[in-house]
Amino acid sequence: MNSTENINTDIAKSAAAADRGINQASNATQDAISKAAEIAHPAVDRFTAGAHQAVEKLMHVASSTADTVAHRSEQLMDAQERLVEDCRTYVRQKPVTALAIAAGIGYVLSHLLSKRH
């Protein structure tokens, strides 16, 4: 065997060793990725389930709040209608007194507003 053959043999041995090392590193990396995925999967599932529960609770609270606001709005509209009707009835029954009250309120408001300027 001459020196060129020895060099080629050494290069082939080195290449084979490098190839084995690369394959071992690749296999180890793939195993590590698989293990990490197995570990991460339950955590991701728990996070997803928690996020869904939080959204459902938020939707329930928002829906409940909207129902309460709608109910209170109806109550306020009913109270306003009753107040307007009571005022109309009072004005029809006692027009002079109602006019005097309106004039008094107008006088007080004009003084309060004129003192601000």
How much is the pLDDT for 45?
A: 86
* Long-range residue pairs from 38-42, CB within 8 A, at least 24 positions apart, any chain: none
Expressed as residue numbers, the domain containing 91 is: 3-116
**First CA to last CA distance, the chain:** 115
Computed over every residue of the chain, the mean pLDDT equals: 87
Residue 41 above 90 pLDDT?
Answer: no
Tally of domains in the chain: 1
- Rounded to two decimals, the pTM is 0.47
Structure tokens at 10: 């050494």
The 8-class DSSP code of residue 78 comes to H
Backbone angles phi, psi at 2, to 5 degrees: -95, 180
Rounded Cα distance, 19 and 31, in Å? 18
Residue 10 above 80 pLDDT?
Answer: no
Residue 90 belongs to what H/E stretch? helix 3-93
Q: With contact defined as beta carbons under 8 Å apart, do 91 and 98 qualify?
A: yes
Which pLDDT tens digit goes with each residue over 66-104?
999 999 999 999 999 999 999 999 999 999 999 999 999
Residue 104 belongs to what H/E stretch? helix 95-116
